[in-house]
Amino acid sequence: MPADAPGSGEHQLVVVANRLPVHRIDGHWHTSPGGLVRAMLGVLRTRRGAWIGWSGDIEPGPVVVETGGDATAVVDTIDPVSAAHLELAEIEMVPVPLDASDFLHYYERVSNGALWPLFHDAIRESTFDAESWAVYHDVNRRFAEAAAKAAAPGATVWVHDYHLLLVPAMLRHLRPDVVIGFFLHIPFPPQELFMRMPWREEILDGLLGADVLGFQRSVGADNFVGLAKRLRAAQPHEHGVRINSESLGDGRLVRVGTFPISIDVDEIARIARAPETKARAATIRARLGEPSTIFLGVDRLDYTKGIDLRLQSFGALLAETADEHVDVAPVVLIQIAVPGREGVDSYIEERHTVEQLVGEVNGSHATIGFPVVHYIRRSLALEELVALYVAADIMLVTPRRDGMNLVAKEFVASRLDDTGVLILSEFAGAADELTQAVLVNPHDPDAIVAAMREAIAMRPSTAGHRMRELRRYVTAHTVDNWAASFLDALGHAAPPDASPDLVGAEHG
């Protein structure tokens, strides 16, 4: 390799994700919450790792403001942000700066305005425009260049999620010596939907640059293999697909596998066990007036999550049981909605829909001092979330479509006494694994009401048995197991001419 080629990096393992695992509050950096971050940091620490991602800050740059008529004003109002490298417990953080135009086109328009809705069953119409795609392409190139620079010779690079679909092929071009993994955290759509994407071939070529492609569910892996065959003439293989094109590396095997992500079970259990958590859970129940049943929903405020469907069905349940109401609410719903992506129209609309429904259900069923829906639109500390999981009786996880849904797994991991019922959408990735939940089709309002009634009426012995089974499963399939199995698959993919028959978890 020439001395000035990228490849002088020193990191044996490089994670590439849209966001860095740190964020800034009042000028101070904090590690971001979540099992994924913890698991990846653990792995990186043992391997001299680097993490490449966006800091969440928008870099200074000209911002064009529409002033009406033909006139536009160019202003520069965004606070400058240092792009200096950060160190977090021996892991190098490499920020990829995004300016206002990158944020608009790469993050809002392509990632969250085109890819996110299409990959989630086209629940909302995607918008496609070539200008935004050019920026998405350019930002992906910058991520690939940063990875190429950080990686040591023969290093492993693990790329994450739909923001970075083009990075694997770009990186392979820059650094043919590194082993490249890509994991998609969201669903991979069926062919009929994917075919709408104007840049469908480019996306497939981008992904086919990887050595290992991981999906949450086998249906996503199957969708990908079908499309690679149809549009890129790739040959299906026992372990994935073989490339059939000069430019992508003819004859190369791309392993395709199913790797359902999970949570840090020990951490959730530790919080659930803490006396403060139990006390907080008791306080929550008391503050609600000791209702007979607490339903709980915890979601990002996103139209994929089906918060609106859940609220409608909750209203219908209360209407059916109205005669049973006395002075206090016997049944309540706590709905936590974590805001985000608020510059995207469909998120603004979803917020309005949800808030209108909260008003309607409370307007119809609340009594003085006792609302039936407790709606909290903000992000809560994990300790408070676990206290809510412990306080609740019935967890509602009813997305229209979801890659996995880790809230379902967190609820299970919190139920140390094996009580409680999980109502889970068939359209969440978690439904493939959490088969002892009450599985429901969230598109059918009667089915959600029936599931709510079933959960309320479930005998404690039945609920206990089901929760025990769920907990056994989640305890045996943690986020550490997930990371290890993906890295294991990458390890087997290491030398380009290694035997392709080693990985058990792969697509068959």
Interaction residues for ligand G6P, span 370-429 (CB under 6 A): none
Residues in region 176-235 near ligand G6P by CB under 6 A: 185-186
* CA pair distance 195, 197, nearest whole angstrom: 5
E strands along 273-324, which residues? 293-300
Q: Name the residue nearer to ligand G6P (CB basis): 18 or 362.
A: 18
CB 451 within 8 A of CB 398: no
CB of 402 to ligand G6P, least distance (A): 9
Asked if residue 63 lies in contact with residue 33, where contact means CB atoms within 8 angstroms, the answer is no
Closest approach of ligand G6P to the CB of residue 301, in Å: 11
* Distance in Å, CB of 169 to ligand G6P, minimum: 20
Q: Does 340 bind ligand G6P (CB under 6 A)?
A: yes
Is the CB of 19 or the CB of 443 nearer to ligand G6P? 19
* 368: CB partners within 8 A, 6+ apart: none
Q: Name which of 362 and 398 has its Cβ closer to ligand G6P.
A: 398
Least distance (Å) between residue 42 CB and ligand G6P: 19
Least CB distance from residue 187 to ligand G6P, whole Å?
10
Nearer to ligand G6P (CB atom), residue 186 or residue 288? 186
Nearer to ligand G6P, 109 or 415 (CB): 109
Nearest residue (CB) to ligand G6P, 52 versus 331: 52
DSSP-derived letter for residue 482 is H
H helices present in 294-418, as ranges: 307-320, 345-365, 382-391, 406-414
The answer to whether 147 and 167 are in contact (CB under 8 A) is: yes
Instruction: Dig out the tokens for 482 from the structure.
Output: 């997930």
Instruction: Sketch the per residue contact string, 259 through 278, with ligand G6P: x for CB under 6 A, - otherwise.
Output: --------------------
Q: Closest separation between CB of residue 243 and ligand G6P, Å? A: 27
Nearer to ligand G6P by Cβ, of 146 and 329: the residue is: 146
Size of the site for ligand G6P (CB under 6 A): 7
Question: How many alpha carbons lie under 13 Å from residue 261 in its C-beta half-sphere?
Answer: 25
Beta bridge partners of 182: 159, 213
Asked whether 88 and 31 are in contact (CB, 8 A), the reply is: yes
When asked if residue 280 is in the footprint of ligand G6P (CB under 6 A), the reply is no
In this complex, which beta carbon is closest to ligand G6P, that of residue 188 or of residue 295?
A: 188
Integer Cα distance of 265 and 413 in angstroms: 6
Q: How many residues does the chain have?
A: 508
Cα separation, 419 vs 463, in Å, equals 6
CB 151 within 8 A of CB 51: no
Nearest position to ligand G6P, beta carbon: 185
By CB under 6 A, name the one of 109, 149, 255, 341 that touches ligand G6P: 341
> Which tokens go with 189?
């759509």
**What is the biggest distance separating any 2 CA atoms in the chain, rounded to whole angstroms?**
80
Taking a C-beta distance cutoff of 8 angstroms, is the pair 132, 118 a contact? no
Residue 19 in the binding site for ligand G6P (CB under 6 A)? yes
Residue 363 as a binder of ligand G6P (CB under 6 A): the answer is no
Contact code string over 155-174 relative to ligand G6P, x by CB under 6 A: ------x-------------
**Which residues form the interface with ligand G6P (CB under 6 A)?**
18-19, 161, 185-186, 340-341
